[in-house]
Amino acid sequence: MEKLQINYIDTDIIIAGGGTAGCYGALKLAESTSKRIFIAEKANIKRSGCLAAGVNALNAYITKGRTPEFYVDYAQKDAEGIARGDLLLSMSERLNECTRDLEKLGLVILKNEDGSYAERGTRNIKINGENIKPLLADAVNKNSRITVQNHINIIDFIVKNNKIYGAVAIDMVEDKLYIIKAQVVLCATGGAAGLYRPNNPGFSRHKMWYPPFNTGAGLAAGIRAGAEMTTLEMRFIALRCKDTIAPTGTIAQGVGASQINSRGEIYENKYGLSTPNRLYGTVEENLAGRGPCYLRTKGISAEAEMDLKKAYLNMAPSQTLKWVEDGEPSQNNVEIEGTEPYIVGGHAAAGFWLSSDRQTTIDGLFAAGDVGGGCPQKYVTGAMAEAYIAANSIKSYLENKKDKLSPAEYEDIAERYVKVESKFFGNTVKTYNIESLEETMQKIMDNYAGGIKTHYKYNEQSLIIAAEKIAGVLNLSVKLHAVNMHELVFIHELQDRLLLCLFVIEHMRARKETRWHSFAENADYPNQSNEFNKYINSRLQDGKIKIIERDLVGREEYYEHTNR
Amino acid sequence: MSIQIDKDMCCGCRRCSAVCPGMLIEHDADKKAQIVYPKDCWGCASCLKECPAGAIKFYLAADIGGHGAVMQIKRQGNITQWIINKENSTTIIKTDSKAANKY
């Protein structure tokens, strides 16, 4: 490698990440503005992000006779009050409109005889979501107002005096660095997997719940640029089918399967039915010596079994393969386990601290989907709703903003990044590599920061050890050697996750209570405390992590950043 | 959890490598697809759905309970045939992209 070639791209709006939120945000912007829209996507928008394999149901929908407030109540209760009422309400008000948009794009939704959607429980509707991402991507690709560049990875935002001016990206294949000039960025890069040692640490290390290719890139770029984060201590841990880490909700709701222990006792009611408690109950049953735990499917009808297999083919085909290869669900109960923890704002509340209009604390940097904090239980339609709100806000924001950096300033930035990035190709360290440092990070987090090994529990002393050790790995990572551009991206993915680990650890230290079982199980403080009826936020300040406590924001409020 | 690509059947169309969300597939000098990071496969099956030649098979590795079965896909219009070959038997399950899941 000689030197990275610099390419300049001029646009108005950058969308970082072409997953569900990114694609839908681009479509909504194209409907309402004449500004140039540029999607930068690490993979290919056709199958990138959380919905690569498909999704089985739309889990956020206002069903017949219910209101958006009903959904807000549910999400607030599940989050034990640590969620933003304003964000949840504006999201909930748009869920059904986003659903209708998906149907217009071609999504198949199960209907009743009267034409209404067939509901599953009180918040879900039934669909065929195998092709949901290609449908969104097709609409984006056909829209002449949107430019998509696949296979480029944004590594940093360009920020000066707390205002955004674009992004820096590297190519996944060619020796190219991109300086993308823009007035606004919508960050939709998703949450972060791979911080903790996974359930399957060997050959199948990427057989995990969350996309292993979502590595918190946008969150880390935001942190480096000084953006405020919220509720990173509320990790998300999924209750999944053992080995395949496939969803359990479809079995539980589809055939009414209860959670049972190895004695055949139904244990779910003992611990409560909130998302964290369904997981916590499983952990506790195992610790009490009553594991393994299962979903009781034994005895389901042949028809139900076939419907289950088809449903899984449309979202998690490995589970159907497992049943055919290893034993059918009508003959064997389905073993379940908790996953390793993830940072994901679409399920839990970890992510950027946002104003009601979805702007981060950096002027001109907006966020939607799994990077958006304070607004849990978004799922697919909620991520879309957030992108919709952000698109409306971006349109208003751009009405009176035109400033960009001078060409010379962009050139300086480019040269600086070329120098830093090129260094990785010249590094010669032989005693460790990208893979071994990734495993080291995951081991540290697993052992000391509440991973599977400690049944998700941690304490002050273990977190201090975790922070010291992760900082050490971050120091080592600057000497890593890359042989090609893909490996350079791997190094960034590792460094992004390490930075995020440090923030997650400090958040867990700051919440001196156990607000949620398993998600944030602080062994020093095993109970909830009213003192912590507030958000734990953070930002990078003078190279250090600064913890900020903020008051709860209710659904009737309109929140703007006043002290950023 | 990963995929196998049959080099003889690969037509070199590059659709699998274009769509893989992890960019795990590359092409050799003969333009044939090969998975270069087999341990990094998420199991989304996007490449199987793209492959017009039926050259890609999907399997569960031994660490997650696999013992030799492979899954392939054949698509015709709305219908996808999921063909699972075990040592002594073949199972075919059809899904219809126009039909919603019952669950």
Q: How many domains does chain A have?
A: 2
C-alpha to C-alpha distances, A238 to A109, A199, A230, A277, B80, nearest whole angstrom: 26, 11, 20, 11, 29
* A525/chain B closest Cα distance in angstroms: 36
Calculate the average pLDDT of chain A: 96
The answer to whether residue A564 scores a pLDDT higher than 60 is: no
Per CB-CB distance under 8 Å, the chain B contacts of A322 are 60, 64-65
**With pLDDT > 70 as the criterion, what percentage of chain A qualifies?**
99
The pairs formed by A442-448 with CB atoms below 8 angstroms and a separation of 24 or more are A442/A194, A442/A195, A442/A196, A442/A197, A442/A198, A442/A201, A442/A340, A443/A197, A444/A469, A444/A470, A444/A473, A444/A501, A445/A195, A445/A196, A445/A197, A445/A470, A445/A501, A446/A196, A446/A197, A446/A340
Residue A131 is assigned to a structural domain of this protein? no
pLDDT in tens, A88-119: 999 999 999 999 999 999 999 999 999 999 99
Residue A515 is assigned to a structural domain of this protein? yes
SS (H, E, C) A161-185: CCEEEEEEEEECCCCEEEEEECCEE
Average pLDDT over residues A274-282: 92
Instruction: Report helix, strand or coil for A110.
Output: coil
Of all residues in chain B, the one with the smallest CA distance to A43 is B21
The answer to whether residue B103 scores a pLDDT higher than 90 is: no
pTM score:
0.97
Contact B100 A126 (CB under 8 A): yes
Q: Domain of B39: which CATH number? A: 3.30.70.20
Asked if B22 has any chain A CB less than 8 Å from its own CB, the reply is yes
A430 shares a domain with A543: yes
Residue A432 pLDDT class (50, 70, 90 cuts)? very high
**With pLDDT > 70 as the criterion, what percentage of chain B qualifies?**
99
* A421/chain B closest Cα distance in angstroms: 20
* Residue A258 belongs to domain spanning: 239-338
For residue A431, what pLDDT is reported? 97
For residue A274, what pLDDT is reported? 86
Per CB-CB distance under 8 Å, the chain B contacts of A324 are 69, 84, 86, 91
Q: Which two tokens stand for residue A417?
A: 């990044």
Asked if B20 has any chain A CB less than 8 Å from its own CB, the reply is yes
Q: Does the interface predicted TM-score (ipTM) exceed 0.90?
A: yes
**With pLDDT > 90 as the criterion, what percentage of chain A qualifies?**
95
- Answer whether A347's CB lies under 8 Å from A50's CB: no
Residue A147 is assigned to a structural domain of this protein? no
Q: How many domains does chain B have?
A: 1
Residue A323 is assigned to a structural domain of this protein? yes
pLDDT in tens, A313-360: 999 999 999 999 999 999 999 999 999 999 999 999 999 999 999 999
For residue A92, what pLDDT is reported? 98
Per CB-CB distance under 8 Å, the chain B contacts of A129 are 101
Calculate the average pLDDT of chain B: 95
pLDDT in tens, A228-255: 999 999 999 999 999 999 999 999 988 9
Residue A496 is assigned to a structural domain of this protein? yes
Average pLDDT over residues A221-226: 98
Alpha helices in A327-481 (DSSP H): 379-398, 407-426, 434-448, 460-477
pLDDT in tens, A458-481: 999 999 999 999 999 999 999 999
Residue A207 pLDDT class (50, 70, 90 cuts)? very high
Report the distance separating Cα A457 and Cα A444, nearest Å: 14
pLDDT in tens, B27-50: 999 999 999 999 999 999 999 999
Average pLDDT over residues A262-287: 93
Q: Domain of A444: which CATH number? A: 1.20.58.100
Average pLDDT over residues A35-57: 96
Contact A52 B46 (CB under 8 A): yes
For residue B102, what pLDDT is reported? 80
Phi, psi of A266 (to 5 degrees): -75, 125
The answer to whether residue A2 scores a pLDDT higher than 60 is: yes
Residue matched to tokens 């969350």: A210
The answer to whether residue A63 scores a pLDDT higher than 80 is: yes
* Residue B85 belongs to domain spanning: 3-99
- Answer whether A504's CB lies under 8 Å from A447's CB: no
Residue A6 is assigned to a structural domain of this protein? no
The answer to whether residue A1 scores a pLDDT higher than 90 is: no
Closest CB to A200 among B64, B84, B96: B64
For residue A35, what pLDDT is reported? 96
The answer to whether residue A275 scores a pLDDT higher than 90 is: no
Contact A203 B43 (CB under 8 A): no
For residue A474, what pLDDT is reported? 98
Average pLDDT over residues A255-266: 95
For residue A120, what pLDDT is reported? 86
Contacts of A540 (CB under 8 A, 6+ apart): A223, A224, A226, A546
